[in-house]
Structure 1
């Protein structure tokens, strides 16, 4: 089917409009972050990159960023391994209670955090895990495993059965089939899961807030909220701090962008 020149121009115009609408808030924050704090500084007409250093120092974001990195690495690594193994079992094996187990994982996706956060806090407090790294990470690991199992189950169910059968004929067991055959082939799907889990964990606000009442395990989004209320009244340093908090997610996405898009397109084609 051929597309006329007028249709192409209209398509690009609509896409440009939507892109501008989506990018306008981001550009506004960037412009504010490098802008002056007062009119006297505005007369110089230059970018004020020192705003990032001032926000980093005043808001103590070095500690918050380190905490977010530790929580994210723990959640992503544990959830990824558990999701791959559970997804492989539910996607390729047949056993009694299979559907029930799968529905339990789906329940973990459907139940919102707000509905379980209060009893979960008391349970972790009784175990002595509040204000600890594990107390903040464990609930997010459970949530990520629920989605990750659903995601990897769909991939394994749609994987090429001929490759698995050929490996079985060569004497490969479940461990070898999973880690040496299916996992390398499923790199786009796994990379997509890693990126989504990292983004959700990094941006999580409620769980660190509730599970660390003393603020001993305060992540970057929490630090940004407290920085807004305690350290700065204007918008310049606040915008600079927001850019610092969002920067790791942007960097990881740009680094994994090709695999992420391939994984999403692969899932769309299979559906």
Structure 2
């Protein structure tokens, strides 16, 4: 029995996905503002370099002051663009005995409410994101995943409030193999903590591609894991199937 449990542990794997523009086909904050307060798009553009949790907290203060209710926010969450093929990906991972985690600079309320709206909560084993909660009078507050007073000391592409490399390193203590899926430059830190038997899966057409293909292609050499590119959910399913079907995948640069 002990040997069987050890063998099972050796074969556990995790698929960790970013949320915005990866799992969903939109940026959750921008979509939220388009639905509830289109005029605030200028606020997002003017403060794009703020820590994302601080920007979101400020935006939701504006929404609350304008009379936007908790129910209004939740209804908007339910309209996030979602490719139904992603459910096939979830089913594939579970069928192969793996877990699924969300690693995102969005917030826990967006993620929890979205999966509840899709009847997909049972697929998700863990969420690493900025913690969010409702005040008693219905305002959404968004806090940092990592407090600025105790910085993660990442010198890569991560914001001060969330280090995806740190999150990946924690998961790697619990899983034998990890597949990290993302679209943005800020996903690179998470990918850089993967090992040769893991896999980095980057979405074409977003800032990760610009970062690694156009601006700093030499940084691909920092990756120990193979890098595979995907464009939509069907492509991603193919990539994940390819990775899970082999103990080693040739590095694609």
The TM-score normalised by the length of structure 1 is: 0.23
Q: Whose Rg is larger?
A: 1
Query: Whose strand proportion is higher, 1 or 2?
Result: 2
Using CA pairs under 8 Å that are at least 6 residues apart, name the structure with larger relative contact order, 1 or 2.
1
The TM-score normalised by the length of structure 2 is: 0.24
Query: Whose helix proportion is higher, 1 or 2?
Result: 1
